[in-house]
Amino acid sequence: MLASIVNDVVGVFSATFMSGDWTAIAVAVLSVLIAVVVMRRGTQIGSMTLLALVVFAFGCYLRGYFMQPASSNVVDGNRVVAQLQSSWMEFSGLQAGTLLAYFIAFMVLILVLFSLKSIFARG
């Protein structure tokens, strides 16, 4: 059980932060950095991880919207709805283990960066 969770976390981490898609990497890094900057105490790790995941999901939605080619016969509102439906279907298709892996991967990265921020802020 523990090995499968670790494998899921490593898979999510490599797929999110080490993929060849620089836009997705930028969205993920930006969401983590926002959480680290907003975080004041180490006890806020749960809420800041949730914040980072929400910012990441919103950023991926915007990425999908702007990367989608605009055809001349599609109204802009239809593109928004179509992208929202597509994003919701992707989210609802995630398994609980994958959601947990996203949470753990973002949490570890936030903790590492927050620790470095705290160390350098003292000096």
**Residue-level pLDDT at 54:** 93
- pLDDT at position 112: 95
Rounded distance, CA 28 to CA 85, Å? 21
In which residue are the tokens 């523990």 written?
2
Helix (H, G, I), strand (E, B) or coil at 70: coil
Give 102-111 pLDDT, tens digit per residue. Answer: 899 899 999 9
- Mean model confidence pLDDT for the chain: 85
Work out the average pLDDT over 73-99.
78
pLDDT (mean) for 56-69: 83
More confident residue, 13 or 116: 116
Residue 39: per-residue pLDDT: 94
Compute the distance between CA of residue 56 and CA of residue 50 in angstroms, rounded to an integer.
Answer: 10
- What is the reported pLDDT for 62? 86
The DSSP 8-state label assigned to residue 44 in this structure reads G
Instruction: Give the N- to C-terminal CA distance of the chain in Å, as an integer.
Output: 42
Residues 17 and 29 sit within 8 Å (Cβ to Cβ): yes
34 or 6: which leads in pLDDT:
34
Structure token digits, residue 3: 């090995």
pLDDT at position 72 is: 54
Among the listed residues 103, 76, 89, 94, the one whose alpha carbon sits nearest the alpha carbon of residue 9: 103
Residue 67 has what pLDDT?
Answer: 79
